Structures are given as structure tokens and as C-alpha cells.
Amino acid sequence: MRRFLLTFLGGAVIGALGGLIGLGGAEFRLPLLIGLFGFAALDAVILNKAMSLVVVASALPFRGQTIPWETVAAHWPAVVNLLAGSLAGA
């Protein structure tokens, strides 16, 4: 029960800070995964990247209602460049 409470409170703090600053929360999740939950650094990074992918994938339908997909598709070179850079950086 204690671990569940820590997880819930950690998620609430990450969500609130990420929402206030305008970030997805990945910057705040990693220290908690390593420090509070005891993940090894590599495992924490992998899990953090997977959670970031879920956040971005779930946000796409909602953002697609705000910005037309045709507008995004017109900037495909920038999208591919950002994706390639983030994959190389990971």
C-alpha cells in the first residue's frame, strides 16, 4: 500500500510540475525512477522513454484537432529531423 501511495503521489507531482512548466514530465520522472523506486539507470531511461512515447501517442489525436494534419505534413522534413535526432540522442 505504501508503494502505491508513493507512486500515486509521485505521478501527481510530476503531472502538476510538467503541466505548469509545459513539459511532458520526463524530466521529473527519471530522478524518481532512480532515486525513489530504485531502478538501475539504464532501466530507468528505457522505461522513461517508453512512458514518453505513450504520452506523445495519446496526445496526438487531441492535438490533431487543433492543428490540421495537412499543416504538420507540410513540415515533414523537420519532423523527420527531430525524430532522428531524438533517436540518436537516446
How many domains does the chain fold into? 1
The parent domain of residue 37 ranges over: 2-89
51-55 contacts: CB < 8 A, separation 24 or more?
Answer: 51/26, 52/24, 52/26, 55/24, 55/25
Read off the pTM: 0.61
22: left (phi over 0), alpha (psi -120 to 50) or beta: left
* Cell 503531472 belongs to residue: 15
Q: Distance (Å, rounded) from C-alpha 81 to C-alpha 51?
A: 21
Give me the pLDDT at residue 56, please: 79
pLDDT tens, 13-68? 877 877 777 666 777 788 888 988 899 999 998 888 888 888 778 888 888 888 88
